[in-house]
Structure 1
Amino acid sequence: MATDNCDTVNMDPAMDLLSDEDLEREAEGFKEQGNAFYVKKDYAEAFNYYTKAIDMCPKNPSYYGNRAATLMMLYRYREALEDSQQAVRLDSTFMKGHLREGKCHLSLGNAMAAKRCFQRVLELESDNSQAQQELKNAESILEYERMAEIGFEKRDFRMVVFCMDRALDLSSACHRFKILKSECLALLGQYPEAQSVASDILRMDSTNADALYVRGLCLYYEDCIDKAVQFFVQALRMAPDHDKARLACRNAKALKAKKEEGNKAFKDGNYESAYELYSDALTIDPNNIKTNAKLYCNRATVGSKLKKLDQAIEDCTKAIKLDEIYVKAYLRRAQCYMETEQYDEAVRDYEKVYQTEKTKEHKHLLKNAQLELKKSKRKDYYKVLGVDKNATEDEIKKAYRKRALLHHPDRHSSASPEEQKEEEKKFKEVGEAFSVLSDPKKKSRYDSGQDLEDDGMNMGDFDANNIFKAFFGGPGGFSFEASGPGNFFFQFG
C-alpha cells in the first residue's frame, strides 16, 4: 500500500501538507523521469531523480533497486550494494534486488556473498536464467582464487596473473584481485605494469595499504630503496599489522646498509672485507633481482682485484642472468676474459656491449679484443722462447741460445724417430721466433697483430739451420760431444 511505502520521514516541511497518495504520485513521477534519463544513458541525472523518489517514499524497494542499477552503470558498486541490500531488506522477495546485490558482490570480488544472493533468486524462481549464469560466474571466480592461492605458494607468479586476469573479467572493481596481480607482476620484474595497477588504486583510495606496499615493492626492486622505504612506512601507518610491508621495509634497510658498507670497504682498499660484505648482502633478498645483479657485479670487481678471475667471471655471469642488458657486468666479464686470455669470449661480450651502446670507447675495446683474438691464433713466439713480451734484445738472444742448443737435432741423434721429429719441430719454432723478435720491423708487425707474410716471410719454407749458423757464426764447424752420460756441450771447430 502507498502508506507502507511513504511513511513520513525528515523531509521538507512543505511535504507535510501532502497526503500519502500525493507523495506516492510525486515519487512515481520522479521515478519515471529517472527511467527516461536511464534509457538515454544519462545516469547522473537518473541518479538524481531516483534519489528524489526515495526522499518522497523511502520505503519503496523498487526505487532503491533502480538507483542501485544506475550506480552500477556509474561503476559505484559499493553504493549500489548498499541500495540493493536496502531494497531486499524492504522486500525479501524482490528478485531484482537480490540479483543486483549479487552483481555488486561479484564486481567487488566477493564471490561467496554473490553466490548466496543468486541462490536466493533461484529459491524464488528456479528457472531464472540470469541467476543461473551469474551463479556459474561466482563459482568460476572462487576456482580462480583457489588456483591463484596455489600458484602463489609455488611462486608460479605467471599463473597467479593469469587467474587474476580471468577473475577481473568478472570482478572488474575488485581491488584485492588487482593488488595480487600487481604484486605478482612486480615479482616477475614487470615493474611499469605493476606500478600502473597500484597507482590506479591509489588514485581512488590513497590510504590503501596493499597498494602502497606494491608501489614500494616496485621501487625496491628497481633499486630505488630510499623511496621504497617511504612507501613501506606509509603502508604500515595505514595498516600497522601489514606483515609484507614490514618484512620488505626491513629487507630494504638491511640491503642498503650492507651494500653501503661493502662500497666503503672497497673504496678503502679493504677488498677481502668488501667481498664478504657483498656476499652477505646477496643473502638478504633473492627476489630483488636488480639490486642483486649490481651486488654480483660489485663482487666481481672485488674478485678481479683479488685475482679471483674465475670467480669474478662467474659473478658477472650471474649478474647478467638477472639483468640481460647490464652493460657494466658485460664489460667487467670481458675484462676478466681478456686477463685470462679467453679472447673469443671477450669479443662476444664486447660485441654485445657495442650493440647496446655504440660509443668510441666500446668500439676501441672491441677492436682491441679482436686483435688479441687474432694474435692468439698464431704461434706465440714469446712463449716459444720463454720470455716476457717486454723482453729486451739481450734477453731474447740469451733465450734463443738456450732453446736452440736444447732442441738442436744433433743433440737428439740417439733418440727415437718420434722424439727426433718433435725436437726438430721445436728447433724450427725457436728459429722462427728469434728471426721475428730479433728484427725490430718484424717484431713491431708481429706485436700489432699484422701478417708477417706481407714482409715476404714464408714460415713454411723457413730454414732454422741458417738462423743457427748466423747466430753462432765463425768459420769453423760446430758439433755436440758427450762429456758424460746424458750430458752434451757445444764445441766450436
Structure 2
Amino acid sequence: MVSLRACVNKWGSALPLLLVLWDLHYEGAECGINAEVEKQLEMGKKLLAAGQLADALSHFHAAIEGDSDNYLAYYRRATVYLAMGKSKAAIRDLSKVVELKQDFTSARLQRGNLLLKQGKFDEAEEDFKTVLQSNPGDKDETEARSQLMKSDEMQRLQSQAQSAFLKGDYYAVIGLLDEILGVCVWDAELRELRAECYIKEGQPRKAIGDLKAAAKLKSDNTEAFYKISTIYYQLGDQEQSLSEVRECLKLDQDHKECFSHYKRVKKLNKQIMSAEDLIQEGRYQDAIDKYETVMKMETQIPVYTTRAKERICHCLSTNQQSTEAIRLCTEVLQLEPDNMNILRDRAAAYLLEEQYEEAIRDYEAAKELSDNDQQIQEDLERAQRLFKQSQKRDYYKILGVKRNANKQEIVKAYRKLAMQWHPDNFQDEEEKKKAEKKFIDIAAAKEVLTDPEMRRKFDEGEDPLDAESQQGGGNPFHRSWNSWQGFDPFSSGGPFKFKFHFN
C-alpha cells in the first residue's frame, strides 16, 4: 500500500502544508488505486493457494487493469494460466514480466522451461544463459544449467530422428520422438511427425492421439483435423470422421480437401443411419437394400463392405432367413474370426436350422470374447437345452417343418402325415403298432406347435408335454391308441363321433 509519506515525498516537502494536503486529496485517488491493486493481488494469491483458479484469475485481471506496469500481477497471473493449462497465455505474461523487470530471473527461468516444452530450443537457451549470467551460484542457476544440458540433448535426439525418418526407419523415429516429447510435450510439429510415423507403421489409432494434441497446440490447424477425419474414415468410423471434418470447416469453410471429404462422408453416413433406423423398425429387407447401396457407394475402403455384410447378416438372422445368414456370417468370420456380433447372429441362424452343436460352438466363442454378457450366457444355455431336447422328441422334426414355420404350414404338414400314418392304413399287426406310435407323436407335435404358449416353452428347450406328464396331468398323447381311434386329421385335433376310413 502507498503510504502518506510516499505521497508527500512525491510532491516535495517544500510545499506549504495546506497545499500538500490539497494535493493529497487528489493524489488519494492514485494511492487508493494502488491500495486496491495490492488488495486484488492478495485476494488472488489466497484463491490460487486454495485452488480456486478462475476466481484467482479474475483478481489478477483486476490488478493488471489497476496497474498495467505491475510485474508481480503479471507473474501471478502467469502462474494461474499455467495451472489452467494455458501455456501460451502464461508465456505472454512472463514475457511482460521480463520486459518490466529484467532482473527477475525466476520469471525468465520459468519462460525458458515453457519454451523448452514447446520445442523452441534457441529461445529457451537464451533465457537459461541469461539466468546463468545473472545469478551465479543460486538455485535458479543450478536449474538453468540443468535445463540447458537437457535442451542440448533434445536437439541431438531430434537430429537423429530426422536422419532416421529420411532413411524410412519409422520405428526408430518413434522411439526417439517418444524421448523428446517426454520433455517437449507441447511441440506440435514433433507430434505431427510421430503421427505420420505411426501411420507408416500401421498404428493409425496412435496417430490420432498425436494429431488431436497437435490440433490443440497449433492455432487453426486445419490439416490436423483433416488427417484425423480421414483416419477415422479409413477405420470405418464415419460418424467420428464427420465430426472431425466439421471442425476443419469451422476453421476454414473454403478448405478444398475438407469440403470434398465432408460431402463424401456425409453421404455415406446418411445411408448407414437410414439402414440402422430401418433395422430398429423391423424392416429388415429394406435395411439390407440400404447396406447393399453402402457397399456400392464405398468400394475403396474394405471395412465398409465388411461392416455392411455384418449388418446384413444380422438382418437375415433376425428375419429368420437362416441359410443366407449362415453363408454371409461365415464369409465375414473368415475376415474377422473374433467378431462377437457375427458369432451370435450365426449361432441364432444355426438354431433355426437345428444345427445345435454348431450354435453352441458359436455362442461359446462369443462368450469368451464378451465381458460377462448375460444375454450371451442365456442364449448359450438355451442352445444347450435345445440340443438335449433334440436327442429326445423334436416336434418340428416329427412334422418335418422348420422352427420358423407358421401355423398354416404346421397344420398342413400334420394333415399330410396323419393321413399317411393313420393305423387304419396298415393291416400287419407290427406295422399297425408302429403306425399308432407315429400317429400319436404327430398329433402331439401338432398340439404343441399350434398352441402359442406350449410352442414358446418348447422353443426355450422345455417339452411341455413331458412337464405335464411329470405333474400328473394325464396328458392325452401318452395314452394308448385305443383312446384315439376315430381321430380326424382334418378336425381341430380332438376325437370325433365317427370313424374315419381310408380307401
Specify the TM-score bucket, using the shorter chain as the normaliser: 0.3 to 0.5
TM-score in terms of structure 1 length: 0.48
